Amino acid sequence: MASPDIETVSTGADKAKVGVSLALLLAAFFAYYLLSKQGPYVQWAGLLALVAASVAVYLLSDSGRRLVAFGRDSYRELSKVVWPERKEAIQMTMYVFGFVLVMAIFLWLTDKVIEWAFYDLILGWRK
């Protein structure tokens, strides 16, 4: 029984588009190495052209359109975030630094007490 939350590529055409996109991406890397004798500009032009074609084909598929819609929704939600003012951000940063300093001192003291108790009292190694 499939869960309704799971989304898959629905049609053969979409599967073909994703397959062509992957093939173009693979061809881009092969072209980069095969065009090495032509010079770096030709290499990069071939790589970028085939990667752009791969991205374009992917964005035409259903999963590509869903990815773009997800990006738009994410950007819309990000614009709703209320960011802290500069003063508040500095205060929170100082609280974090203060807490880290206090914890560092506490852990250092705990380590030294355990070291003293273990090596000096129990084992008697330091005299």
Number of domains in the chain: 2
**Pair (22, 60) in one structural domain:** yes
- pLDDT score, position 126: 65
Residues 6+ apart with CB under 8 A from 10: 62
**Pair (99, 71) in one structural domain:** no
- pLDDT of 15 strictly over 60: yes
Q: Is residue 2 part of a domain?
A: no
**Pair (71, 19) in one structural domain:** yes
Q: Is residue 6 part of a domain?
A: no
pLDDT tens for residues 39-81?
999 999 999 999 999 999 999 999 999 999 999 999 999 999 9
pLDDT tens for residues 74-103?
999 999 999 899 999 999 999 999 999 999
**Pair (56, 89) in one structural domain:** no
Give pTM, 2 decimals.
Answer: 0.58
- pLDDT of 9 strictly over 50: no
Provide the b/e sequence for 68-106 (b: ≥16 CB within 10 Å).
eeeeeeeeeeeeeeeeeeeeeeeeeeeeeeeeeeeeeee
Q: Is residue 4 part of a domain?
A: no
Question: Could you tell me the residue range of the domain that residue 23 belongs to?
Answer: 12-79
**Pair (42, 90) in one structural domain:** no
Q: At what angle do helices 62-79 and 40-60 cross, to 10 degrees?
A: 90
Specify the residue for token string 């052209």: 49
